[in-house]
Structure 1
Amino acid sequence: MNIRSLETFVWIARLGSFRAAANRVHASQPSVSARISGLEDQLGVELFNRSVRKVTLTAKGREFLIYAEKMLALHAEMMHSVAKSTAMQGTVRMGVSETIAHSWLPQLVEQVSGVYPALNLELEIDISVNLSEKLIDHEVDIALLIGPVTQPGILNQKLCCYPLIWVASPRLGIENRRMSLSELATWPIVTYPRKTQPHTVIRSLIDPINHSTRIHSSSSLSNIIRMTIDGLGVSALPEEILEKELRSGDLIQLDVDVEMPDLEFNAAFRGGPGATVVQAISELAVDAAQR
């Protein structure tokens, strides 16, 4: 009975599919089936009901899952505490908000590579709403995103806060003076996609004042910046990612009498077996964010 077989068993139990587990552990489906058959032969019991469309655990399988998760957790703790960092192998799938990708992600990747040179990172850049869903569905192992993920079993670690500033293209000819929110609402607004924190906050501020204000949204932060530079509207964005545009004069900061709430970023990951490595990566992310 080896760690690889136990890990395969746990992922089938979590995902309810031999095929999905094969993708997760980077093995062929026949290899996954062979590992489970080997476990069942050793134990002398069936671990899964295979007669239904979604694979489910038998009564003995549910009992074995408790022990398998404990064994994996102990193995991960042992490797983290005793083994050299060069011995930590495998792949960690990390989902990253585009705002972080535009700021300190390269430093984090460099730190992870330095501490765990044998560990592979699979990066997925997406909006926070999607990253939260992917973490819950086991499609990523750790997510660096806006806000916490409030689901049972998910741990959250605060990373950083980014204040938002209102910016616009000089070509719009907006006067350099303090303006009210109602004045700002006469211009179209370019922002993050629906269901994100910035879009929701902007809607709640603007709709009572001017329901006819056009709000253009995009899931691409680069596209939001480009649209704002092109004069398609004003935007509220983190100052940290606009240094080049503000310095070159492609964008100017607006003085608006309303403050947007900060973007609060967290590292979210699932606790339990295998969490030792992703928790260590989250701590490296805190360090990278503070730097």
Structure 2
Amino acid sequence: MAITLKQLHYFVALAETGGFGTAAQAVHVSQPALSAQIRDLETHLGAPLVDRLPRTIRLTRRGQEVLARARRILAEVGDLEQAVRWHDGLSGRLHLGVIPTVAPYLLPDVLTRIRARDLTLDIRVREAQTDALVEALGRGQIDAAILALPVPAPGFEAIPFLSDRFLLAGSEQRLQTWAHQAARLSPHDLVPEQLLLLDEGHCLADQALEVCGIPARRQVDLGASSLSTLCGLVSEGFGLTLLPELAVRTEAAAARGLRLMRFAAPEPQRDLALVHRGGGDGAWAADLAGLLRDAGSTLVARARDLVPVAP
């Protein structure tokens, strides 16, 4: 009996979840069915792949080797399916990953644009931090991801689609402190102790620290889980934060006490890109990047209407 893709899929699920019950739930089969497939795989390979412990499993040395190869095989199969599915452009099924500081602002507009082009496209969205999306992309669990450059892993193709500038956000009283130097305000002028950022793991927090020239996280108050939380805090006078243009329209409307100020040129920014594994016909990725560029440019233009760029 030959090894099947089903067996490899089940084995990867088992390794990632750490238990037969949770793995069975993840792949939507009964636990006996999953256990039988794992036993058949071990029989075919002639070696145990997992140590069955009372409440969990542990991969054997052979199991760790099989896991690495199984992930590569499943990713290759995913690429094959993708190449055939999207031979004629963006159509069929799309598994898209998006970082949390982009998803709530860009997705509503871009999904509307995608639906206007093709109502039959089946879109599945996963919102997660950069490292999780890069891992999912490498395993073939998603087709593409919207990330901020640079991508923290080699081997992917990136199509930049938007330069998203940062604005200084805070209460009116807080920003009044900087009014006298608005024409020459630099991120490096900010006092680290006044800066609030997203909790560790969000790439936006790392980018903000970098543009402000702050080398150590311990100097900054980190802990908010979303930009909306940050904007609510700073609008009430609890420090300052950096807000990307992409989020300006939504957050300015939600936090009524929020005030925004631009930095002097060159304004700090993040560069957003559509990242995919590459290979085959990349027309679908170019199509999608074009839609992202259109949607993003619209949001940025609205932000610049609210907070004009200095002439």
Whether these two folds match at TM > 0.5 is yes
Please state if 1:253 is matched with 2:257: no
Secondary structure in structure 2 of the residue aligned to 1:163: strand
Out of 282, 288, 291, the residue aligned to residue 292 of structure 2 is: 288
C-alpha offsets along residues 184-229 of structure 1, whole Å, 9 cap, x if unaligned?
428711223346333431552588xxx9975455231111111121
* Closer/same/farther in 2, CA of residues 276 and 223 from structure 1, 3 Å limit: farther
Choose the corresponding residue for 2:224, options 208, 218, 223: 218
For 2:241, the equivalent position in structure 1 comes to 235
Checking the alignment, whether the CA contact within 8 Å between 2:7 and 2:41 is kept in structure 1 is: no
Q: Verify: 1:157 aligned to 2:159, yes or no.
A: yes
Question: Structure 1 stretch 158-167 or stretch 137-146: which is displaced more?
Answer: 137-146
> Which letter does structure 1 place at the counterpart of 2:235?
I
Question: Residue 169 of structure 1 aligns to which amino acid in structure 2?
Answer: S
1:95 pairs with one of 94, 97, 102: 97
Amino acid at match of 1:151: A
Which ranges in structure 2 are unaligned for 5 or more consecutive residues?
52-57, 296-311
Is the contact between residue 76 and residue 276 of structure 1 (CA under 8 Å) also seen in structure 2? no
Q: Deviation of residue 34 (structure 1)? A: 5.9
Deviation at 1:170, TM superposition (A): 0.9
Local SS of the residue matching 2:228? helix
Question: Whole-Å Cα distance in 2 between the matches of residues 148 and 131 of structure 1?
Answer: 14
Q: Distance in 1 between matches of 2:74 and 2:252?
A: 54
**Identity over aligned residues, as a percent?**
20
Q: Which amino acid aligns with 1:161?
A: S
* Alignment-derived partner of residue 271 in structure 2: 264
Residues 123/250 of structure 1: CA separation in 2 closer, same or farther (3 Å cut): same
Q: Higher mean Cα deviation, 105-114 or 221-230?
A: 105-114
Unmatched 5+ stretches in structure 1: none
User: Distance in 1 between the 2:250 and 2:65 partners?
Assistant: 60
Deviation of 1:280 (Å): 3.4
CA contact (8 A) 2:89 2:287 kept: no
Scaled by the length of structure 2, what TM-score is found?
0.62
Letter of the structure 2 residue corresponding to residue 50 of structure 1: L
In structure 1, how many angstroms separate the alpha carbons of the residues matched to 2:248 and 2:242? 11
Q: Which amino acid aligns with 1:176?
A: A
1:117 to 117, 120, 138: 120
The DSSP-based 3-state class of the residue aligned with 1:165 is strand
Structural mapping, 1:115-194, within 5 Å: 115=118, 117=120, 119-124=122-127, 126-132=128-134, 135=137, 142-172=144-174, 173-174=176-177, 176-178=179-181, 181=186, 184-185=190-191, 188-194=194-200
Displacement of 1:35 in angstroms is 6.2
Indicate the SS of the match to 2:237.
coil
CA distance in 2, matches of 1:13, 1:97: 24
The answer to whether the 8 A contact 2:75-2:140 is kept is: no
Please name the residue that 2:306 is paired with.
none
Aligned equivalent of 2:110, options 104, 108, 112? 108
Flag the 1:270–1:161 CA change in 2: closer, same or farther, 3 A: same
Residue in 2 that maps onto 1:50: 49
User: Cα–Cα, structure 1 residues 16 and 252, in superposed 2: closer, same or farther, change >3 Å?
Assistant: closer
Per-residue deviation, residues 47-70 of structure 1 (Å, max 9, x unmatched): 874355327579999999998876
- What is the SS of the residue equivalent to 1:231? coil
Given the superposition, is the C-alpha separation of residues 166 and 134 from structure 1 closer, same or farther in structure 2, using an over 3 Å criterion?
A: same
The answer to which of 259-268 and 239-248 deviates more is 239-248
TM-score (norm 1): 0.65
Asked if the contact 1:166–1:234 (Cα under 8 Å) also holds between the matched residues in 2, the reply is yes
Structure 1 residue identity aligned to 2:101: T
Q: What code does the residue aligned with 1:164 have?
A: F
Aligned residues between the structures: 276
Letter in 2 for 1:198: Q
Is the Cα contact below 8 Å between 2:160 and 2:273 reproduced in 1?
yes
Q: Which residue of 2 aligns with 1:201?
A: 210
Which letter does structure 1 place at the counterpart of 2:237?
A: G
The aligned residue for residue 6 of structure 1 is: 5
Partner Cα separation in structure 2 for residue 222 and residue 280 of structure 1:
32
Task: For residue 238 of structure 2, give the secondary structure of its aligned residue in structure 1.
Answer: coil
